[in-house]
Structure formats: structure tokens, C-alpha cells
Chains A and B, each alone.
Chain A
Amino acid sequence: MGMRLYAIVIYLFLYLPIGIIVLFSFNAGRHASDFHGFSVKWYGKVLSNPFAMDALTTSVTVAFITALLASVFGTMAALGLQQFKGRFRALFDAAIYIAIMIPGIVIGIATLIALVTAFGYLNPALAAAWPEWLGDAPRLKMGRVSLIAAHTMFTMALVIVIVRARLAGMDRTLIEASADLYATPMGTFWQVTLPQIFPAVLAGFLLSFTFSFDDFIIAFFVAGSETTLPIYVFSSIRRGVTPEINAIGTMVLAVSLSLLIVAQVMLRRRDRPAA
């Protein structure tokens, strides 16, 4: 009995802050601490705020492209790695391990100084090599592309780990049977392997999207002059806590919560034998 009470207290501790944000986002009053009745006016304010909407568009675009690249390349790598052993495999595993374990802040810093330095060499070279009739040479700079590249690096490692776990639990005899029945390797992949690993790939896609959408620290270094939603929220908090942030927070939580629940359901299928 005591243990159950303890569990309830901990769940309250975990969900109370989320509840407070949701509650205050519907607060008619300006000051969060005094509740003045129900209102959705802060949602209206956010939806008509061009800066917040710009940040939202950037975040969704970056998260979607990141998730797409990470799940495609990550799945490809997980499939490819099955055939490798020895030193190359150990090296690859080490890179994945480092990608996941190194603090996000170090990834942000490293990407920032490496890309800015590389651009410092590439831009003059590009300007010199650019044919004149094409007009001014484009200048490489930090922005959406560098952010997508950095997010994809981390989430791809995550997808590799998830898909590999699924591949390890997969029934190999089906693949052998398919080959024995003269299916082409491509045919086997589309009809046997992919349906089996698909829940893991989809879970990887959703986790990648959520990670990229929620990430603050890597974006803070790598996004250049672009503003993502977490960066917008962080700088709003710095200027003072407003009910508008609660409305953004509630919407962000709603998006990530629904994606995560789908991802969890997909990953849980792994535990049951495939039909």
C-alpha cells in the first residue's frame, strides 16, 4: 500500500509541471499566478504572432527533413552492418556510441566551429570558381541546412540502434525461405524484411522528429540566424515569463506526446511475436 502511495506521489511530481503549463495557458489573466477564468486568447495571440509562426515553420521543416533522412540512412546502415564484422564494424559501432553519448552541447560547439572554419575556406574558393554569367556566388553560412545536418547525425545513430535491435530479433528463416523460393534480393527486402522492421523504422522516424523538434542546445549553436521554436521560447523566457509561452508549451507538448505514444506502441510490437 505504501509503495502505491509513493508511486502516485512520483507520478504527480512528473506530471504536475505539465498540468500547470496547460492550466495557465487557458488563464484569462495576464499574471500566471492568479487564475482569472477560462480563455483561449493566448492561443489566438500565438497563432497571430509572425515571429512564433516563423519559428514553428522552421522547426517543423527541420524536424521533418531530419526524420526522413535519419530513418532512411539509418535503416540502410542497420541493414548494411549485418554483413560486417571485425575492425570496420568496431569502428562504426564506436562512432554510433560516441554520437549518442557525447553531450549535445559538445556536438553543437564542434559543428559550429568546424563548419564556420570550413566555410571560411570554401567561400573564397567558391567565389573564385563561380562563372561570372551566373551572377554572384552563393555564400555558405550556418542555417537550416547545417541544423538539419547536425540533427540528422545524432538521430541517425538512434535509428541504427533501434532498427538493429529489431533486426536481431527477426526470424532469419523467413529470409532463407524467400531466397529458396527464388525471390530476388530486392523482392525479399520489400516483401519480407521491410514489413518486419517497419514498426521500428516508423518509431525511429517519430523519435527523430520529436528530438529535432524539441532540441534546444544543438540548434542554439548551429542554427545561425534562424530561429527554431525552442530558441524562440528560450529567448521569450529570458525577456520574462508570459502566458503566451504557456500556450506554445501546451501545443508543443501535445504534438510530442501524441507522436511519442504512437512511437511507443510501434516499439512495443517488438515484444510480441510477429504475426
Chain B
Amino acid sequence: MQAKSSWTHRLLLLPAALWLLVMLVLPLLVVFVFSFGERAPAGGYIPAFSFDNYLNLPARLTAFKNTLILAPLGTLAALLIAYPLAYYLAIKASAKIRTTLLVMIIVPFWTSILIRTYAWIYILGGRGIPQLLEWIGIEGVRLINTPTAVLIGIIYGYLPLMVFPIYVSLEKFDKRLLEASEDLGAPPLKTFRDVTLPLSIPGIATGCMLVFILLMGEFLIPALLGGGKVFFVGNALVDLFLQSRNWTYGSAVAAALVIIMLVTVSIYMKLIMRGAGHREDVSLV
């Protein structure tokens, strides 16, 4: 019975294991190998072992710089805007409407980011907000194709992903703690600083990490709202693989992106773990 069931379970795992091997592990290894190779005249790969592609990374410095400035900035902005909303949903909103409000937060995140970002071309474009501003006398404001437009698109696209983990951590804790703090005469701000905020740190950590990771690979928002002037590493990668067809150099750029991502996230997780007194309830789903 034991041996038979173990075979059944192996068979159950087989398709998924093969799929992950062929479509994830091997392709990522190919990127790694290509990043040390030489570019073939037609754009393909010639086996070699050199660090030239990595040494050439400064040629795309602007893309890395934009990503490394706007990704943390966007994460921070999303956090500041998401926190009060998550607080409202977890603590202030009545139980009756809470589920509906939550579903209304999650649903946009799963619908086409392409189409939702596209709407901002109207809103930020010449006949959108700048025209409204002209009516009240503020002239010459340009929003579309600026870093501000990209930042607004980022906050809009990633807000749901930030709200949810913070909501989960705030919703979990015992609300009697708030009453106790109030009964003992603590002013609301002190209650927030000493009770609510520390307890919601796991949610903040998860939200920031998710948003930051996804932002590092962002392509669509800068492509649509940055108009070729504000570009991320993602935009450089599209150019390298689909236009200039420089696969080996592109692989080095992709590998560098993943490495920067992993390093930032692991440093960040260490800091958070230390700050929160070795809490381990940081969940992803």
C-alpha cells in the first residue's frame, strides 16, 4: 500500500515537474550561459566565456538608474497611500461592506494592466488634467511622458498589491489591544505608533517586497506613460531582444536585473526580520 501510493504520488507530480524543468529551470540556465557568450553576426549566440557583456553594462546605465530610483520611490508612494486605506478596511469599515470593498480592491489588480494603464494616456494627456488646470489658470503643465506620469501609473497599478497584505496583518491582530491602549489614556497617535504600526510591520514588509519585485521588471507603464523618455530595464530588454537582437548582451542585462533584485530583497528581508524581532509570519498569498 505504502509503496504503491508513493508511486501514484510520483506520477501525479511528473507533469508539473517536467514542465517546470523544461519551461523554467532550463531557460533560466540558458540566459545565464548566454550572458557569458559572444554575439553572432545575425544576433544569435557563439559559445564563449567572457565577462565582456557584464563589463558593458554601464552602456545601459540610465535604464538601471531609472529603475533603481523609480521602483523604490513608487513602492514608498504606494505604501503611504495604501496604509490608511488598509487601516480603514481592517479597523473602521463595518463588517457588512468589508468583503465587497476587499473584492473591489483585488479585482482591478487581476484585470489587464495594459488597458488600465492606457486609460491614463487620456487622463494625463494634453486634453486631460493639463486642460482642467488651464481652466483654473495654471498653464503649461505637462504630465504625459514625464517621470511623474510613470510614478502615477505605478501607484495606480500596484496599489491593490500593497493594500492587501497590510490589510491581512491589521485584520489579524486583537482589536482589544487598541481599546486597552485607549482605556489606559494613550492619545490616538501614541496608540498608533506603539501598538498598530509595529503589529502591521509583517504586512508592510510583504507588500513592499511584492511591489518592489514586480516593479523591477516593469515594461508597460514606462512604455505607455514615459513615451520613450522615461525607460526601465524592462524597456531596454525589449529593445535588446526584439529590435537590436543582441541576445548575449541582453542576457547579461537580464541576469544583472535578477541579481540586483535578489540581493536587494535578501538585504531587505534581513533588515525587516531584525527590526520585527525575528517574526516569521510574513506570508505571500
Interface string of A204-225 (1 = CB under 8 A from B): 0001001100101100110000
CB contacts between A and B, total, < 8 Å:
231
- Chain A residues with CB under 8 A of B224: 237
Instruction: Tell me whether B19 and A73 are in contact (CB under 8 A).
Output: yes
Instruction: Tell me whether B13 and A17 are in contact (CB under 8 A).
Output: no
- One of A36-44, A111-119, A133-141, A170-178 at the interface: A111-119
Q: How far is the CA of A268 from the CA of B103 in the complex (A)?
A: 10
Q: How far is the CA of A169 from the CA of B81 in the complex (A)?
A: 33
- Chain B residues with CB under 8 A of A249: 112, 115, 118-119
Instruction: Tell me whether B119 and A80 are in contact (CB under 8 A).
Output: no
Instruction: Tell me whether A14 and B121 are in contact (CB under 8 A).
Output: no
Interface flag for B220 (CB, 8 Å): yes
- One of B3-11, B52-60, B172-180, B274-282 at the interface: B3-11
Given A6-B85, A82-B9, A253-B111, A105 contacting B30 (CB threshold 8 A): no
Interface flag for A182 (CB, 8 Å): no
- Chain A residues with CB under 8 A of B11: 80
- One of B135-143, B197-205, B209-217 at the interface: B209-217
Interface residues of B toward A: which range? 35 or more
Instruction: Tell me whether A92 and B9 are in contact (CB under 8 A).
Output: no
Interface flag for A76 (CB, 8 Å): yes
Which of B16, B106, B108, B115 contacts A252, CB < 8 Å?
B115
Given A109-B254, A214-B111, A253-B111, A221 contacting B27 (CB threshold 8 A): no
Interface flag for B193 (CB, 8 Å): no
- Chain B residues with CB under 8 A of A191: none
How far is the CB of A247 from the nearest CB of chain B, in Å?
Answer: 11
Instruction: Tell me whether B88 and A80 are in contact (CB under 8 A).
Output: no
Interface flag for B41 (CB, 8 Å): no
Please give me the residue from chain B that is nearest to A157 by CB atom: B20
- Chain A residues with CB under 8 A of B217: 102-106
List residues of B (119-160) whose CB comes within 8 Å of A's CBs. 119-123, 127-128, 131, 156, 159-160
Which of A74, A98, A105 contacts B24, CB < 8 Å?
A98
Instruction: Tell me whether B30 and A117 are in contact (CB under 8 A).
Output: yes
Instruction: Tell me whether B257 and A106 are in contact (CB under 8 A).
Output: yes
- Chain B residues with CB under 8 A of A153: 19-20, 23-24
Q: How far is the CA of A112 from the CA of B120 in the complex (A)?
A: 30
Interface string of B27-49 (1 = CB under 8 A from A): 11011001000000000110000
Q: How far is the CA of A14 from the CA of B106 in the complex (A)?
A: 11
Instruction: Tell me whether B20 and A14 are in contact (CB under 8 A).
Output: no
How far is the CB of A214 from the nearest CB of chain B, in Å?
Answer: 4
Interface flag for A261 (CB, 8 Å): yes
Which of B22, B81, B107, B213 contacts A103, CB < 8 Å?
B213
Instruction: Tell me whether A21 and B156 are in contact (CB under 8 A).
Output: no
Interface residues of A toward B: which range? 35 or more
Instruction: Tell me whether A111 and B81 are in contact (CB under 8 A).
Output: no
Interface flag for A90 (CB, 8 Å): no
Q: How far is the CA of A106 from the CA of B25 in the complex (A)?
A: 12
Interface flag for B165 (CB, 8 Å): no
Give 20 CB contacts A-B under 8 Å.
A3-B84, A15-B108, A17-B123, A33-B127, A74-B16, A96-B20, A102-B258, A103-B214, A106-B31, A107-B24, A110-B24, A113-B34, A207-B110, A211-B110, A217-B220, A221-B242, A233-B118, A249-B115, A249-B118, A252-B111
Contact residues of A with B, CB < 8 Å? 3-4, 6-7, 10-11, 13-18, 20-21, 24, 32-33, 73-74, 76-77, 79-84, 92, 95-96, 98-107, 109-115, 117, 120, 149-150, 152-153, 156-157, 160-162, 165, 185, 207, 210-211, 214, 216-217, 220-221, 230, 233-234, 237, 241, 245, 249, 252-253, 256-257, 260-261, 264, 268
Contact residues of B with A, CB < 8 Å? 5-6, 8-13, 15-17, 19-20, 22-28, 30-31, 34, 44-45, 81, 84-85, 87-89, 92-93, 99, 101, 103-108, 110-116, 118-123, 127-128, 131, 156, 159-160, 213-214, 216-217, 219-220, 224, 234, 237-238, 241-242, 247, 250-251, 254, 257-258, 261, 284-285
**20 other contacts beyond A3-B92, A82-B9, with CB at 8 A cut-off?**
A6-B84, A17-B119, A32-B122, A33-B122, A77-B16, A105-B234, A106-B31, A106-B217, A107-B24, A109-B237, A109-B250, A109-B251, A153-B19, A156-B16, A214-B113, A220-B242, A237-B121, A249-B119, A261-B107, A264-B107
